[in-house]
Amino acid sequence: MEAVLDLYAAPPDPQRPLVCFDELPYQLVSETRTPRPARPGRAAQYDYEYQREGTANVFLHVAPHLGWRHVAVTARRTAQDFAHQMQALVDEHFPQAEVIRLVSDNLNTHGAAALYATFAPAEARRLARKLEFHHTPPHGSWLNMAEIELSVLSGQCLARRLGDRQTLAAEAAAWERRRNAARATITWRFTAAEARVKLHRVYPAHP
């Protein structure tokens, strides 16, 4: 835990950007009846019935110091899906970085092993050398700032009926463009020193 908190407290380094990564399952839902649009003095009306259309996965990267985030919609969240997200992070989003300091939770798919399970050894090694993995502790996923950004995404974009992956991806991309244009950042205030006081029960007892 303290390693992640120390990472958050470190000054930004353009050559070693901090990126937080997380994912979110999403239930696709379509309307069974055409909604009635809003009119003067009356809000839009939606029928209570809906149709389930399966599920999708939402990957999110956020660089909290830079006001940048990226959302990717996929059918699944396998190790291979994670590996392709890491490849895009290295080659498309931060190609000039010496190394990317990546914070994620400790799922078994979130690590260098996923790279080797997906790519040829030379490519997996190239990507692994550009990624510095930092995992939140068990039951400590709240330490991942990507959860904050996913909460914003859910409240501003996903809290409605979206019936297919294409629509979900288009709406998430529009949200991403607006939020990146605003350069919205995350200010993290919880420190290792505060953790020792507020979370003293998780520290070993010493005489």
Mean pLDDT of 156-173: 95
Output the pTM of the full model.
Answer: 0.86
Residue from 198, 139, 202, 159 nearest 26 by CA: 159
Q: pLDDT tens digits for 22-80?
A: 999 999 988 777 767 777 877 776 666 778 889 999 999 999 999 999 999 999 999 99
Q: In order of start, what are the domains of the chain with their CATH numbers?
A: 2-32+50-202 (3.30.420.10)
For tokens 């205030």, what's the residue?
189
Q: How confident is the model at residue 207, as a pLDDT? A: 59
